[in-house]
Amino acid sequence: MALIIVESPTKARTFNRILDPKQYFVFATMGHIRDLPGNKIAINYEKQFKPDYAIIKNKAKIVEKLKKLATENNEIILATDPDREGESISYHAAYLLGKVNEAWPEIELKDKNLKRIVFHEITPGALKEALANPSTLRISLVKAQQARRILDRIVGYELSPLLWKKTGKNWLSAGRVQTVALRLIVEREKEIKNFRIEDYCQIYGVFQPRHPTGDEGLKAKLISKENILYEEKTTFKLFSGDYTYSKTSINQSNVEEIKKDLNNDDYKVTNIEENIIKKYPPPPFTTSLLQQDAFYKFGFSSKMTMNLAQGLYERGLITYHRTDSFNLSTGFVFKAKDYITATFGEKYALEKPRGFKTKSKLAQEAHEAIRPTRLNPDLKTTEKLTINHKKLYSLIFNRAVSCQMKEAEIKIIKINIEGEKKYLFESVVEQVLFDGFFRLLNPKFAESKKLKPEIGQNQQLTLREIVEESLQTKPPPRFNEASLIRILEEKGIGRPSTYAPIITLIQVKNYIEKENRYFIPTPLGTSICDYLSVSFPRLFDLDFTAGMEDDLDKIANDEKNFVSVLTDFFQPFKNTLEQRKKDVSLIKIEDKIEGICPQDGGNLITRFSRFGKFIACSNYPKCKYTKSILKTVKNKKCPKDGGDVVVRYTKTKKRFYGCSNYPKCDFSAWRFKDL
């Protein structure tokens, strides 16, 4: 028999449903089994950054069983995920089984016959092909993963003690990529505060023919007078790039005069321009696009999206979900064509498959986009799935299939209405001629578009109504999960597997908070970020961080030596670190005053601990008054004792509901509907 090593029990069960149990025994490592220990830096600088790996706590029995199984089976097959993290799990399993020689910095395979299979979907066809064409451990991917792990360990374990010394809080942490993500949020908050909000007006006219037909009329926007445009564009410099916004030169000082002028004018249609454009479907999902769409459509966090996608992948329902590729397999696109023809009709199917070009620079860890493994919109599996699994699957299915459907045809009708005083209005109407891919992806789109208005060239019109909108220029928006992931990807910071952990970590550390789904830096997060970005300007620069990601990609592609990359990074970092250690200044955290202490009359301020945010007296330690910050759920009472229901969080920031009288009352619920 052959021993197949995978990461999770769900994946193992899927393998067992597909493979012959008389030929293969599938064993799950339950994730990583060997890693850097948490109680020390475990990096030997004198020996070319040699890592001191150890078996992870509570994994000793798994390792013992793995070794026993290896002796009982004739063949060992590594079948972990196809990215760097999966390769690393395979590598450490192979090392513990005596198949690898760590002659640092070189890594040698002792057993040249050790098999590694790579696949991007867990289906009978994919596994059969992978088992028929095994490869070996991809050492370049292992080195890239180790280089990232070592870099992050150096930054985290060298900078965190510095923060403890500067703040007196020994639970703070800094990270090579997490601090850059935090910096984007902090700098955006400053940009919002520095943005000058201006009032302006926008004027619309509602027109109808001289002989009314009883319709609602045609609404058009005032755009110019005597060919001078009212709209002005302004560019505002941001840390992450330029922000361009628009406003008009119409304001409270001239709006009444313009309206009076408009009411005493005669109008006619001066131009009707019709153009037929084609709208093409968006590409299939990459990791970041899936996280963004799931956030906007369902409110899923990036972490939740990845957990759901992991479950779908391991059950064999979708392809590998950590990818930055737009590629789709030949088998899928031709099956998709048959499905589209049978479901929607031949006119919706393409003659030739449609391809998409990826914007990613180098990383192609999984060589296919996220797609369903079967052309079946209804999930059928032997394992139970939640409603959220089904929502995400439907999102993936529709996106992958629709990208192989015909483009939509839309008629754009631009109508210019001009008065004798040279005021020009413009109305743009869209009319769907053929819905194409919208038939699957957004069927309501075609239904919502108007028909061509019954207005002709040079037709005389009556201004029935003037609509004035009082507006303000809007500052750049705060980041939410989707927009933060988008900017991280655009700037080349992080990779598909890192977005969710980054966002989760800066929330767990209380560096940022969510308000209406948008991120706001806490005073703690702002202070930490400002200190690190000023003290280590090179390390937390966007371009430098993106360049480091490129170097890691080049290591994975066997184009760069990973020890050289580590050396080039470490020496400048060490020099700057030594200088900062000599600096005796402290990090000042601006405290937000929340009221007056009922015990000694001091100011109540917001404080942060490893367990979250709370209110305390500013005269601590003389006064030890504290108060939890809890959000009360309106119109809900505890079913046990009638107390208020409040929102609480676990240590990992998972939300649940509890009684405000805790610990006297131990009522709790995970879901709002269970209250």
**Better-scored residue on pLDDT, 284 or 601:** 284
Of 24, 320, 423, 499, which is the active-site residue? 320
Please choose, from the candidates 303, 185, 173, 386, the residue with its C-alpha nearest in 3D space to the C-alpha of residue 653.
Answer: 303
Q: Is the pLDDT of residue 413 over 80?
A: yes
H helices of 363-422, where?
387-402
Q: What is the pLDDT of residue 362?
A: 43
Report pLDDT for 610. 67
Token pair, residue 345, equals 């009709």
Average pLDDT over residues 44-49: 96
pLDDT bin (cut points 50, 70, 90) of residue 618 is confident
SS3 51: strand
Is residue 97 classed exposed, middle or buried when 0-12, 13-18 and 19+ CB atoms within 10 A define those classes? buried
CA distance 586 to 156: 19
pLDDT digits 0-9 by tens, 467-480: 999 999 999 999 99
CA dist 11 and 316 (Å) reads 8
End-to-end Cα spacing for the chain: 52
2-137: CATH topology is Rossmann fold (3.40.50)
In this prediction, residue 52 has a pLDDT band, given cuts at 50, 70 and 90, of: very high
pLDDT of residue 365: 45
CA-CA-CA-CA torsion sign (521, 522, 523, 525): negative
Closest alpha carbon to 269 in 427, 442, 71, 398: 427
Task: Give tens-digit pLDDT for 533-543.
Answer: 999 999 999 99
Q: Which of 81-85, 330-334, 365-369, 513-517 has the lowest mean pLDDT?
A: 365-369
Q: Would you say domain 155-194+481-582 falls under CATH 1.10.460.10?
A: yes
- The two three-digit tokens of residue 374, written as one number: 């079967």
Find, among 502, 419, 494, 509, the residue nearest to 460 by Cα. Answer: 419
pLDDT at 634: 81
Could you name the CATH architecture of 288-402?
Orthogonal Bundle (1.10)
Range in 316-325, 376-385, 540-549 with the lowest mean pLDDT: 376-385
Report the predicted TM-score, pTM, of the whole model to 2 decimal places: 0.88
pLDDT by residue (tens digit) across 544-577?
999 999 999 999 999 999 999 999 999 999 999 9
Residue 320 falls in the annotated catalytic set: yes
CA atoms 534, 535, 537, 540: torsion sign: negative
User: pLDDT at residue 653 above 50?
Assistant: yes
CA 241 to chain centre: 19
Predicted confidence (pLDDT) at residue 451 exceeds the cutoff of 80: no
Q: Residue 370's closest CA among 336, 324, 406, 335?
A: 324
* Distance from the Cα of residue 524 to its chain's centroid: 23
- Per-residue pLDDT tens digits for 288-308: 999 999 999 999 999 999 999
Q: What are phi and psi of 541, to 5 degrees?
A: -85, 140
pLDDT for the residue numbered 239: 95
One DSSP character per residue, 21-37 reads: TTTEEEEE--S-SEE--
Residue 251 CB neighbours (<10 A): 14
Lowest mean pLDDT among 15-29, 146-160, 378-392: 378-392
Question: Is there a contact between 204 and 466 (Cβ–Cβ < 8 Å)?
Answer: yes
Looking at residue 381, what is its pLDDT? 61
Helix axes of 542-556 and 139-167: crossing angle, nearest 10 degrees: 150
- Please tell me the predicted confidence (pLDDT) of residue 383: 64
Taking the C-alpha atoms of residue 92 and residue 35, their distance in angstroms, rounded to an integer, is 8
Q: Could you tell me the pLDDT band of residue 212, with boundaries at 50, 70 and 90?
A: low
| Cis status of the peptide bond prior to 663, with omega within 30 of 0 | yes
Residue 563, classed as helix, strand or coil, is helix
Residue range(s) in the chain whose domain bears CATH number 1.10.290.10: 288-402
Q: Which residues contact 316 (CB under 8 A, 6 or more apart)?
A: 14, 18, 121, 122, 123, 373
What average pLDDT score do residues 226-250 get?
96
Confidence of residue 246 (pLDDT cuts 50, 70, 90): very high
pLDDT of residue 250 exceeding 90, the answer is yes
Place of tokens 């192609």: 364
What's the whole-number mean pLDDT along residues 143-160?
96
Amino acid letter, 122: I
User: In angstroms, rounded to a whole number, what is the distance separating the alpha carbons of residues 508 and 530?
Assistant: 19
CA-wise closest residue to 142 among 83, 97, 101: 83
Q: Which run of H or E residues covers position 130? A: helix 124-132
Q: What are phi and psi of 419, to 5 degrees?
A: -95, 170
Query: Can you give the pLDDT at residue 51?
Result: 97
Q: Is residue 331 over pLDDT 70? A: yes
Whether 392 and 308 have beta carbons less than 8 Å apart is answered as yes
Q: State the architecture of 199-280+408-472 in CATH terms.
A: Distorted Sandwich (2.70)
In the chain, residues under CATH classification 3.40.50.140 are 2-137
Can you state the percent helix, strand and coil of the chain, rounding each to 5? 35, 25, 40
Q: What is the pLDDT of residues 357-369, one digit of tens each?
A: 876 554 444 479 9
- CATH 2.70.20.10 region(s) of the chain? 199-280+408-472
Q: How much of the chain, in percent, has pLDDT values that exceed 90?
A: 76
Q: For residue 578, what are the β-bridge partners?
A: none
**Res 524: pLDDT:** 92
Give the pLDDT confidence of 181-205 residue by residue, as tens digits. 999 999 999 999 999 999 999 999 9
Please give the radius of gyration of the chain, using alpha carbons only, rounded to the nearest integer: 30
Task: Tell me 349's DSSP state.
Answer: B
Whole-angstrom Cα distance, residue 136 to residue 138? 6
pLDDT at 608 over 90: no
What average pLDDT does the segment 78-87 reach? Answer: 96
C-alpha to C-alpha distance for 345 and 349, rounded to whole angstroms: 7
Q: What's the average model confidence in pLDDT over 46-54? A: 96
State yes or no: pLDDT of 445 exceeds 70: yes
Residue 612: the pLDDT is 66
The Cα 659–Cα 271 span in angstroms is: 66
d(CA 163, CA 179): 13
In total, the chain counts a number of residues equal to 675
pLDDT in tens, 489-506: 999 998 888 999 999 999
d(CA 198, CA 541): 32
Mean pLDDT of the chain: 92
CA–CA separation, 478 and 188 (whole Å): 7
